[in-house]
Structure 1
Amino acid sequence: MSRGNALEALIAGLHGNPTDKADWQAVIALANHTLLTPDLFSSLARAGQIHQLPHDVREYLRFVHGCNRERNLRLRAQLREAVAVLNRSGIVPLLLKGAVPLFLSSAGRVPSRMMSDLDLAVDAGEETVATACLEGLGYRDVAGARGMARQKDAGMLELRSSRANCFAPPKLVRRDGLRVKIPPAQSRAMHWMVHDLLKEGDYWRGRIDLRHLHDLARLAESDDLDWTSLQRSMSDRTARNALDTQLLALHHFFGTRIPAKSAQRRIVRFQHWRRIFTATHPIIGAPLRLAGNLAWGTWRFSRAYGLARCRPSDLLRRVARTLFNPRAKI
């Protein structure tokens, strides 16, 4: 089965509509690569379509979903423990990305989203105290990675400094005696977009993080996102082009309603076409992907993101990791 057909069948499954005569081995391989296997099962189960799948496919998806559920329950307990120790020191952390729905989930029920870490932010003046609190729980910095971990846990915990944005302030949420701050939906959407398209370079490299795109689609369904205000908040023309390219992908894969003007600029339409083409034709689209990697590398060097201070061996390792590690992207 071609990558394009497998991608089409996976998207249909995430909509709760299993495709007839799908090559489920190829679909599952793509779902595993993009970290969407548990979401595929839960989407089909909610739609009452899970029994339409072949028995072995259904049982495999059920098994992965069950394992991920147990992992997320452990992550949820880990998150609550970290929030509790921070609260005792007067710190109310800001939850980011997957930590938000994980904290808000009811007891015994957790999101099906596959996660590898927990992201929290505190005010700059609270970082030292917050780090000491987590070290008191046994957390230690992980060599070669951003984050802290304990051997007994299901995932790492990444503590960072919170940054202001142009949207509404975070909302204070109290649950079971714990206090956290939840960013508004606009901020959460912008965080995902800026992280993937600009920080990870997906806009230049022609890549798509399908799991994050699925997250954005679900966020748009549950909250009234103002895409126009997001566009206005972008720092420059490149950032606005990147956002509109992501909006076109949202509409293409998940039918999300977006402003009509998002598709007006030629560069945006070309970037959207390039991402879809390389996602569905990874072999013949390889030259486009290589050109994008080179463009992103040039952009990074032009802004000296700490690369000039790297030793040659470290720089080569980072280049190789950047070019050859797909990181669950398509």
Structure 2
Amino acid sequence: MMRAGATLDALIAGLRGRPPAGADWQAVIALANHTLLTPALFSSLAHAGQIHGLPHDVREYLRFVHDCNRERNLRLRAQLAEAVAALNRREIVPLLLKGAIPLFLSVPERVPSRMTSDLDLAVEPTEEASAQACLEALGYAPVASGRGLARRQDAGMLELRTSQTSAFGPSSPVERNGLRVKIPPAHSRALHWMMHDLLKEGDYWRGRIDLRHLHDLAQLAESDDMDWTALGAAMSDRGARNALDTQLLALHHFFGTRIPTSGAPRPMVRFQHWRRVFTARHPFLGAPLRLAANLAWGTWRFSRADDLARRGPSDLGRRVIRTLFFSGAKV
């Protein structure tokens, strides 16, 4: 059985289009499934012309998952087009976020391989009520928990939110096949992922890496003109800038992304980068580090007065346990 570090290295190599030699494919596929990167692994190897060098059963399994995800993404793209068309008829031009952007921009014969859980749209605060009514007229109904909208026949949920110019920056109008949307610049899209993972979810303090989002960022930096200066300027304080620089080091470490160089990284950034990589490559040895960080993060988050007032003791206990011991699709 491959060590965790070797398995991670093999998956990263595959995502960069380089089939790992002598890999324990059962372990690699398990990690790819856990991090929601199995379709991307197949796509990267196929695009590099390396897919036929894999063992037959591995290749066919990756192809099966990739094809299933492709069918799902086709349904999501059709669902997105229907929603945008309905909003446009009411003179609403939605702002697309996260996985909805590559789905909308993709050409008919090439569907993104990214696994997308839902469709994220944003509208102006003054348009929210009209947009909600428009989508409900299509049969969408609010989900019991959260701000999502869903229909039984769809492949995924649709999440409607209000846009904040300060959060997403100036967007560009884009028209495809008669559908009009707005798309934030690349650095704003990167900022959205980073703020969500590193600060909102606490990955910076907890020493976790969302490998799927890191892969998203690497692809974004490769395909778009990334304004690193604007991204850095959007960080409000030193802690946020440390989180950004830590993520940039991870991008360069795992995917070879070219990042801005301005001297040696700060000691805190170097430590956080080492801690995240060490716990990803050595989950058993890194367990005490992760547990201590999760405990500090969980104590701070769930002891806030508004959380205590809003949640009962049993719900609070479940959330603390989930924070301490479960990481979802993280490494």
The question of a shared fold, defined as TM-score above 0.5 by the shorter chain, is answered with yes
Matched-pair identity in %: 76
Instruction: Tell me how far apart the structure 1 counterparts of residues 263 and 329 of structure 2 sit (CA, whole Å).
Output: 26
> Which residue type is aligned with residue 84 of structure 2?
V
Offset at residue 219 of structure 1 (A): 0.7
2:108 maps to: 107
Could you list the per-position Cα deviations for residues 94-114 of structure 1 after superposition, in whole angstroms to 9, with x for gaps in the alignment?
000010010011124210001
Alignment of 1:128-167 (within 5 A): 128-165=129-166
Alignment of 1:174-323 (within 5 A): 174-261=175-262, 263-301=264-302, 306-323=307-324
> Which residue type is aligned with residue 19 of structure 2?
P
Gaps in structure 1 of 5+ consecutive residues: none
SS in 1 for 2:165: coil
Offset at residue 237 of structure 1 (A): 0.9
Instruction: Tell me how far apart the structure 1 counterparts of residues 122 and 80 of structure 2 sit (CA, whole Å).
Output: 13
Q: Which moved more, 1:296-305 or 1:6-15?
A: 296-305
CA separation of 1:262 and 1:77: change in aligned 2, threshold 3 A: farther
Q: Which moved more, 1:244-253 or 1:136-145?
A: 136-145
CA separation of 1:304 and 1:280: change in aligned 2, threshold 3 A: farther
Instruction: Tell me how far apart the structure 1 counterparts of residues 122 and 165 of structure 2 sit (CA, whole Å).
Output: 11
2:47 maps to: 46
Could you list the per-position Cα deviations for residues 157-189 of structure 1 after superposition, in whole angstroms to 9, with x for gaps in the alignment?
111110113775101111111110000111001
TM-score after normalising by structure 2: 0.96
Contact kept in structure 2, 1:165 and 1:187, CA below 8 Å: no
CA separation of 1:311 and 1:167: change in aligned 2, threshold 3 A: closer
Instruction: Tell me how far apart the structure 2 counterparts of residues 218 and 323 of structure 1 sit (CA, whole Å).
Output: 31
Q: Which moved more, 1:319-328 or 1:296-305?
A: 296-305
Q: Which moved more, 1:132-141 or 1:226-235?
A: 226-235
Offset at residue 225 of structure 1 (A): 1.2
Could you list the per-position Cα deviations for residues 56-75 of structure 1 after superposition, in whole angstroms to 9, with x for gaps in the alignment?
00000010000000000000
Instruction: Tell me how far apart the structure 2 counterparts of residues 21 and 286 of structure 1 sit (CA, whole Å).
Output: 28
Instruction: Tell me how far apart the structure 1 counterparts of residues 110 and 305 of structure 2 sit (CA, whole Å).
Output: 45
Instruction: Tell me how far apart the structure 2 counterparts of residues 326 and 74 of structure 1 sit (CA, whole Å).
Output: 29
CA separation of 1:319 and 1:28: change in aligned 2, threshold 3 A: same
SS in 2 for 1:165: helix
Contact kept in structure 1, 2:186 and 2:227, CA below 8 Å: no
> Which residue type is aligned with residue 114 of structure 1?
M
CA separation of 1:62 and 1:84: change in aligned 2, threshold 3 A: same
Answer yes or no: is 1:24 the counterpart of 2:25: yes
Offset at residue 325 of structure 1 (A): 3.2
> Which residue type is aligned with residue 250 of structure 2?
A
Instruction: Tell me how far apart the structure 2 counterparts of residues 302 and 197 of structure 1 sit (CA, whole Å).
Output: 20
Gaps in structure 2 of 5+ consecutive residues: none
Offset at residue 141 of structure 1 (A): 1.6
2:8 maps to: 7
Instruction: Tell me how far apart the structure 1 counterparts of residues 223 and 99 of structure 2 sit (CA, whole Å).
Output: 15
Instruction: Tell me how far apart the structure 2 counterparts of residues 56 and 327 of structure 1 sit (CA, whole Å).
Output: 27
CA separation of 1:2 and 1:262: change in aligned 2, threshold 3 A: farther
Contact kept in structure 1, 2:168 and 2:184, CA below 8 Å: no
Could you list the per-position Cα deviations for residues 196-231 of structure 1 after superposition, in whole angstroms to 9, with x for gaps in the alignment?
000111001110011110111111111221223312
Offset at residue 270 of structure 1 (A): 0.4
Offset at residue 303 of structure 1 (A): 6.0
Aligned residues: 330
TM-score after normalising by structure 1: 0.96
Q: Which moved more, 1:81-90 or 1:319-328?
A: 319-328
CA separation of 1:322 and 1:3: change in aligned 2, threshold 3 A: same
CA separation of 1:263 and 1:131: change in aligned 2, threshold 3 A: farther
**Superposition RMSD on alpha carbons, in Å?**
1.6
CA separation of 1:303 and 1:236: change in aligned 2, threshold 3 A: farther
> Which residue type is aligned with residue 45 of structure 2?
L
SS in 2 for 1:191: helix
Instruction: Tell me how far apart the structure 2 counterparts of residues 82 and 116 of structure 1 sit (CA, whole Å).
Output: 16
> Which residue type is aligned with residue 197 of structure 1?
L
1:59 maps to: 60
Offset at residue 324 of structure 1 (A): 3.2
2:124 maps to: 123
Offset at residue 90 of structure 1 (A): 1.3
Q: Which moved more, 1:290-299 or 1:162-171?
A: 162-171
